[in-house]
Chain A
Amino acid sequence: MLRFEKAVILNGDFTVRANLALERGARVAVIGPSGAGKTTLLEAIAGFRPLEAGRLVWDGRDITADPPGARPVAMLFQDGNLFPHLTLAQNAGLGLRPDLRLSAEQKERVKAALARVGLEGLEDRRPGALSGGQQSRAALARVLLQDRPLLLLDEPFAALGPALKAEMLDLVADLAAETGATLLMISHDPDDARRIADQAVLVAEGVAHPPRPTIDLLDNPPPVLRAYLGEG
């Protein structure tokens, strides 16, 4: 279970307050108006933003002060998820060892992970030689190898077309189900949230609210969310 205990996250001159808990294995959409602090919330979990006050607890362990690489977190950013000068195998292999000194057995696992996301035979290509969808798949292969219990998505598929984006989200849902990871994804599209997230956290006016069933939140949105969604 991931718990924010009376946490205050500082980002420049605005703050996000969070006092909420997420069940292990949950699939949670993070929704709310632009600039409300959705990315800030994810950055706090991943360790890029220190907490001003409060604690962040994972499975009973206080991880408030842990550095980013030591957290139980795999994260996909809006862009820049791959190193352009490294091959797909190297990019994915970073999920196993950050210094890339891989054993033969680990190299096999890298190959298998790339095959699992549909990139068989492209191990030695560099990201620049791939389509946007293939790049997303390569980043997901690394996430698979990182095998962290928390998966954070900061709209990594925003630049893809609707069909491709839906395909990627389904793949994410499958991978999360296989590994039992808890999924947290920022979404600007209510359909995406309905598609794979059973719960939703609303971030608005400097507060991250405790999760509610996605359908419930989207069908009966509070005023601030209604204005953002543009319904009435």
Chain B
Amino acid sequence: MADRAQPIGAGPGIGAAAIVAALILGSLAAVALRAQPGTGLGPADWQAVRFTLMQAALSAAISVALAVPVARALARRRFAGRSALITLLGAPFILPVIVAVLGLLTVFGRAGWVSQALGAAGLEPLRIYGLHGVVLAHVFFNLPLATRLILQGWQEIPAERFRLAAHLGADAGAIWRLLEAPMLARSVPAALAVVFAICLTSFAVALTLGGGPRATTVELAIYQAFRFDFDLGRAALLACIQIALTVLAAGLALRAAPGGGFGAGLDRPLRRWDAQSGLLRAQDGAAITLAALFLLLPLAAIAVNGLAGVTSLPASVFRAAGTSIVIAAASTATLLVLAVPMAASIAMARRTGWIELAGLLGLAVSPLVIGTGLFIVVYPFADPFALALPVTALVNAISALPFALRILVPRARAVLGDFGRLGLSLNMGGLPFVRLVLLPRMRPQIGFAAGLGAALSMGDLGVIALFADPEVATLPLQIYRLMGAYRMEAAAGAALLLLALSMLAFWIFDRGGRWHAEV
């Protein structure tokens, strides 16, 4: 039996998915073929594997352990600025890593605010480089994510359950045992697995705060094999290890996906009658305040330090900013050309198909591994360093693709479900339906996805570090070079510029999508 008729064909989406799959699987194949197992893994490589696993496990455990009280406080308190704070928890997703690192250095660095306070009290300053710093930065990025994931678990408990619990006279402790602990038993493992997977592929944090033989991740080792030794075989071997680690993490994340639930409610407004004691109020207030300070202080540090440096930026920073804008624009365009047709095709399919899997591949393979593969493929034919910018734009687009699809697919499904039959009965199949119905009705989601893609690309410090020669730099790479040259004031000014550009890129697209949109 044929599937229900659809107003548009799946062809363009299939083509886009084929390109993505060919690119990712092709670079994987290149890495696998080029790897030189003969030399085997040296002690340094094993150390990198151990460090990668340890920092990811620590980062996940600390992020989630801190996220639980914060999410609990946000779930049971209502206060002015609550929704702004929850929105702010989403901001690290598009915050450039290098900017956050500079902010963290200003607050927690050897000469930072906390160390100065400790020094005034006669204590030793903090040491941020190495394992501490890597974990600190990962917690900074993932505490908000874990809080949002766990808060979602809280919000999925129907308001009726809390009403019933209050009716039965349950206090905060009883509600914990009755409702909250069972919910956490499902959502905490999922959050742990997600944060672990993210930290496993972290490159920019390890590049800036790690390093040295005792604080090198596998991704960083790939980079070093490339840049310092130009040992492609060893880089490829390390990339294979990274792939194995990612597959392991993906397996964990899939197994830990939360299932089951509390049943449906009638969406009554949530009211909480428990946890009114002064002690619990103080506890929740402290959790929220500390979390907000932890997130806001480094951002404030960027603003304070950056304003001093932004007036005297070297010309190289503006050149790099121009390069970053061009890359972000190209990457966003590539992203949309791939994601919109794929979203339409996925929305039309009745079950999970290979197009959806191709869209998820970008999550399973780290950008640095794709970059290594592309380098190996290109190297015999052309100068890879000359292709640094197009390759960066392309890899950025592919790594943003899974997120874009998550935003686009549900909307495409709704548009086709609501208007597919009407479009067919009016004979507006194909291009007229895309032009008059699909694109106009998906515009807010396309704008949001484009905004995320542009901001991610603008702030990315990954593949470009592999490919760039000294003449070429994106803004994040230029900031890294300024830091390496100990020009911290210029770096802070450039970081403020990068932060502004990333937020602006996101705002322009997101706003453009919603401008005069009739929803």
Q: Which residues of A contact B (CB under 8 A)?
A: 10, 46-48, 50, 67-70, 73-75, 77, 80-81, 83-86, 90, 94-95, 98-100, 126, 128, 142, 146
Contacts and interface: CB of A to CB of B under 8 A. Distances in A.
Contacts of A126: 518
Contacts of B440: 85
Contacts of A80: 418-419, 421-422
Interface stretch (B128-136, B189-197, B423-431): B423-431
A74 B425 contact: yes
Contacts of A90: 436
- Which of A48, A50, A98, A126 has the most B CB atoms < 10 Å from its CB? A98
Contacts, number: 72
A50 B432 contact: no
Interface in B1-55: 1-2, 4-5
B427 A48 contact: no
A98 to B, nearest CB: 3
Contacts of B432: 98-100
Interface of B: 1-2, 4-5, 418-419, 421-429, 431-433, 435-437, 440-441, 517-519
B422 A98 contact: no
A83 B437 CA distance: 8
B516 to A, nearest CB: 10
Contact of B427 (A81, A84, A98): A98
The 6 closest A-B pairs by CB, nearest first: A69-B427, A98-B428, A99-B432, A68-B424, A85-B518, A98-B427
Nearest to A90: B436
B422 A81 contact: yes
Nearest to A52: B1
B422 A47 contact: no
Nearest to A80: B418
B519 to A, nearest CB: 8
Nearest to A84: B518
15 contacts: A48-B424, A50-B1, A67-B5, A67-B424, A68-B424, A69-B427, A80-B418, A80-B422, A83-B437, A94-B426, A98-B423, A98-B429, A98-B432, A99-B435, A100-B432
Contacts of A128: 518
A182 B519 CA distance: 35
A68 B427 contact: yes
Contacts of A50: 1-2
Contact of A10 (B1, B427, B428, B517): B1
Nearest to A100: B436
B427 A70 contact: yes
Given A50-B1, A68-B5, A77 B422 contact: yes
B518 A69 contact: no
A160 B55 CA distance: 63
Contacts of A94: 426, 428, 436
A84 B519 CA distance: 7
Given A10-B1, A85-B441, A99-B436, A69 B418 contact: no
A95 B428 CA distance: 10
A50 B4 CA distance: 9
Nearest to B423: A98
